[in-house]
Amino acid sequence: MENLDKKYQTIDVIHRAFEDLDEIATVAQVTVHRGADLEDNVNFAWRVTQNIEGSWSRDKYMPSGELNDDYNPWVKTIKPLKVDEDGKEWGHRSSSIGDVYVLDTGEAYVVNGRKNRLELVNLDEILKLDGRSVIKHLFN
């Protein structure tokens, strides 16, 4: 039987684009095919962490009992959902330009907003308080 670790890899999605430093966290882990193109895999991770017809960060069914059209079995929600003071649970936001995609090899990428392509980044630098200044050239 083929070893699944050799067939698949994971991409951690870190919401960084709009968060304050204390909010930066891995929100999802997306399973992709190891042999696929890097850009295709990151594009898949971006696409399946979008809220279009439901909430990517919720299970198969919404709290109302309706089918969640944004549920994807290839996505594992890592960060717990926020519950407000009224007890309402909120799903995570959609991924955006400026968020970080970390392969299971440790390589980290962001999408260059100007060129619409992936840029390899230093994960330690990008997660620092001044990390946005490290990548601001990608968005101007």
Q: How many CB atoms lie under 10 A from the CB of residue 17? A: 18
Cα–chain center distance at 56: 10
pLDDT in tens, 50-76: 999 999 999 999 999 999 999 999 999
pLDDT band per the 50, 70, 90 thresholds, residue 87: very high
Q: Are 27 and 78 in contact (CB under 8 A)?
A: yes
pLDDT of residue 1: 37
Residue 101 CA to residue 26 CA, distance in Å, equals 9
CB atoms within 10 A of CB 51: 15
Give residue 130's pLDDT band: very low, low, confident or very high (50, 70, 90): low
The pLDDT-based confidence of 131 (bands split at 50, 70, 90) is: low
Identify the pLDDT of residue 22: 74
How is 12-71 classified by DSSP, letter by letter? EEEE-SS--GGG-EEEEEEEEETTS-HHHHHHHHHHTT--SSS-TTS-SB-TTS-B-TT-
Has residue 113 got a pLDDT over 90?
no
Model confidence at 133, pLDDT cuts 50, 70, 90, reads: low
> What's the rounded Cα separation, in Å, for the pair 66 and 115?
39
Q: Quick check: 55 and 100 in contact, CB under 8 A?
A: no
